[in-house]
Structure 1
């Protein structure tokens, strides 16, 4: 029993140490461009996969009402390198609300490139990739109270990236050929200022995380017909 407990302690200690090392390393980089809408996928093969990141797809509420999210600007805090400030807007049923907020990196897992899986070298020159990683962040975006039907967004953001031999951080679309591929995945809720009631609100690039039966697409996102009238006439 004592041997088992000691092994568990060593295992947990290794995880904590790895996360701390990841946080220390990610401080050296700036993820602003990766989180700002309208960026690129940082891939080399334009004929196989898009070089432009798509607009966010998202839903709000149990009926999967479509929500549009645009992040216009992201700025890294010069005092705390794990915090970023965000400016953007949301739109639901034609009602647009501006928001301000922040993203805080809570954990970072960074590993050496390792084995190149089949298809990756079609998208990116893997000889230039030194590490791949994931950050898990908390976010809060506050809509302008002076606008109609406003509240705030809060939850968790998960982003995949890779590091290069020349010291850059890139948007990781290396797995873009996978049907289930997504990045910049936001999972959380929107809470009304006036009522205090919350609704599930998730969005992401390429796919929507935890979207239940909304997405029935195989190779790409495709909404279930029963939700089409909730803003998905054009997906």
Structure 2
């Protein structure tokens, strides 16, 4: 029995070693943030976090679904705060895997707000004179329900991590102060997708600028997101194009006509 336990622990450590968890690196609650949950401090409707989750252009939001890291695109189209629930936000959006597009409705519920131990002002203290009052992170639960009448629909469920700051006008802003730093990530959704038909669950993680949790051999970029060739056929070919494939096997399109976005 002891031998079996040792083998299982060994295999578990290998599995953990093969996964890169950027949420631990970029949302370090033990080091960067105060221990107190100040959720009630932001109960007033003067503090609205809804804009924070829709700042980044969709082309810079990257997500995976399943162990093979199939690409999934998520677009949050409408987010608004519920009047009788200060930490509850209704969400409408769409998801896309390959050519399959589903609309979804759901909610985000903020569970925890922690403020930073020390304010950060970016390179050369660029934001030092911007009147920033405080900075922090929020942790929320999310559940998004895809339309059951649509093909390959399911439920998204998990945790959301968001960095923000309070400006001089007491408005909540998206914290992009450290944007130019290597490996920058924000608005990280970490969880699962559960099929409406089979009930099967798959990992499903997405975030701004990087995938929050993925195989170590998936994102090979240092300063910015770059997918290894192993995964190109899982919907990531355009990222190879974006990063100018070293072997020049992929050439930019000469088309200049503007086309509708996939969620329109």
Matched, 1:189 2:205: no
The match for 1:62 is 67
**Structure 1 segment 1-235 matched on structure 2, within 5 A:** 15=35, 18-19=36-37, 22-28=38-44, 29-36=47-54, 39=55, 54-111=59-116, 114=118, 116=120, 119=123, 121-122=125-126, 124-212=127-215, 213-235=217-239
Mapped partners of 2:102, 2:60: distance in 1: 17
The match for 2:244 is none
Mapped partners of 1:208, 1:115: distance in 2: 26
Q: Which stretches in structure 1 are left out of the alignment for 5+ residues? A: 1-13, 41-51
Secondary structure, counterpart of 1:226 in structure 2: helix
Mapped partners of 2:124, 2:92: distance in 1: 33
Mapped partners of 2:96, 2:143: distance in 1: 17
Moved over 3 A (4+): 52-55, 114-118, 124-127
Mapped partners of 1:54, 1:77: distance in 2: 28
Structure 1 window deviating more from structure 2 (53-62 vs 132-141): it is 53-62
Q: Which stretches in structure 2 are left out of the alignment for 5+ residues? A: 1-33, 240-264
Secondary structure, counterpart of 1:227 in structure 2: helix
After TM superposition, the score normalised by the length of structure 2 is 0.73
Mapped partners of 1:115, 1:55: distance in 2: 26
TM-aligned CA deviation for residue 26 of structure 1: 2.4
The match for 2:19 is none
TM-aligned CA deviation for residue 214 of structure 1: 1.2
Q: Deviations over 1:73-93 (max 9, x none)?
A: 001011111110000000001
The 3 A distance-change label for structure 1 pair 118 and 89 is: closer
Secondary structure, counterpart of 1:74 in structure 2: strand
Aligned length: 203
The 3 A distance-change label for structure 1 pair 186 and 176 is: same
